Amino acid sequence: MVRTYALLAWTWTRAAMAYRASFALMVVLGVCVTATDVAVILVIFSHTTALAGFTRDEVLFLYGAAGLPFALCDLLVSNVDRVSQHIRAGTLDTMLVRPVGTWIQLAADRFAPTRAGRVLQAAAVLGYALAVLDLDAGRLWMVPVMLATGTVIFAAIWTLGGAAQFLLTDAPEVINSFTYGGGQLTQYPLSVYGRDLVRGVTYVLPLAFVNWQPALYVLDRDDPFGTPGFVRFLGPVAAAVLALLAGLAWRQGIRHYRSTGS
């Protein structure tokens, strides 16, 4: 599975590398696009020292901790949200008859290696935040755990979005609210948002476990919304449940897909 994915991804990479100047330009521009989000954070913190109780460096830590898994999934998985395009163009049928899993093919389809720049940008912000924040070394083990959790959660959300497009063939942009919206939401401490929204992203769509709950542990903070301490460690469980649901939804979508029937 991994080998097939790597092979497909490498094919697209070689295609993209054919125009080296264009490739380099796209990498740099990709970094710039995500850097605008950091620019916004810096502009906001040029007017205040704390946003909803969090300092600039803490917000940058949250940004990096969510941005890295988000950028990784954007690079590796996000292409599954083009299901509706493939359905309309009829290319999904070709994928179904090939001897490789449809999800793998879709995820690797039009693999854009230029998005790797965004991964590096997010990693740089996270590294900066970890360096300047005076964190308790005994709690740092949570950082790799939260990165893995976040990657699984975002990948699952993208898969759910892809599965939903078997129903929403004409309006795929709705999915962006949850995928890119999730990326936007997790850039800031959840204490910024309203109580109901935070409940929703804790108990329904577990975006709170991407960075918020584990970061509260790393930063040694109490939850302003008063969730009990053990919730900080529930991230992997939430990610596993969501991944399971996404897998089931994807299977349902594929199973119930009907071609044009001609």
Partner 1 sequence: MPSPRRADHNPGLPLAGPRAGPGTACHRAITLRRCVSFSLYARLAGYGFRKHATYVGAALAGAFTNSVFGVLRAYILIALWQARPGLAGYDVTAAVTFCFVTQAFIGPMQLLGGGLTLPERIRTGDIALDLVRPAPLQLWLLAEDLGRAAYQLLLRGLPPMLAGAAVFGITVPRDPARWAGVLACVTAGVVVSFAWRYLVCLSVCWLADDRGVMVCSMLLTTLLSGMMVPLTLFPGALGELVRALPWAAMAQAPADVYLGTAPAGPTLAFQAAWGAALLALGALATRAVRHRVVIQGG
Long-range contacts (CB closer than 8 Å, 24 or more residues apart) made by 141-144: 142/214, 142/217, 142/218, 143/65, 143/218
49-78 residues in contact with partner 1 (CB under 8 A) are 50-52
Other CB atoms closer than 10 Å to residue 45's CB: what's the count?
A: 17
Residue 48 sits in the site that holds partner 1 (CB under 8 A): yes
Q: Which stretch binds partner 1 (CB under 8 A): 23-31, 89-97, 126-134, 156-164?
A: 23-31
**Binds partner 1 (CB under 8 A): choice among 170, 220, 229, 251:** 170
Q: Are 62 and 187 in contact (CB under 8 A)?
A: yes
State the first-to-last Cα distance of the chain, in angstroms, to the nearest integer.
31
Q: Which stretch binds partner 1 (CB under 8 A): 39-47, 142-150, 228-236, 241-249?
A: 39-47
214-243 residues in contact with partner 1 (CB under 8 A) are none
Residue 89 sits in the site that holds partner 1 (CB under 8 A): no
- Give the distance, in angstroms, between the CA of residue 16 and the centroid of all CA atoms in the same chain: 23
Q: Kindly state the smallest distance separating residue 136's Cβ from partner 1, in Å.
A: 26
- For residues 207 and 18, give the distance between their C-alpha atoms in angstroms, rounded to a whole number: 38
- For residues 152 and 19, give the distance between their C-alpha atoms in angstroms, rounded to a whole number: 33
180-219 residues in contact with partner 1 (CB under 8 A) are 181, 184-185, 188, 192-194, 197
Q: Kindly state the smallest distance separating residue 228's Cβ from partner 1, in Å.
A: 24
Residue 17 sits in the site that holds partner 1 (CB under 8 A): no
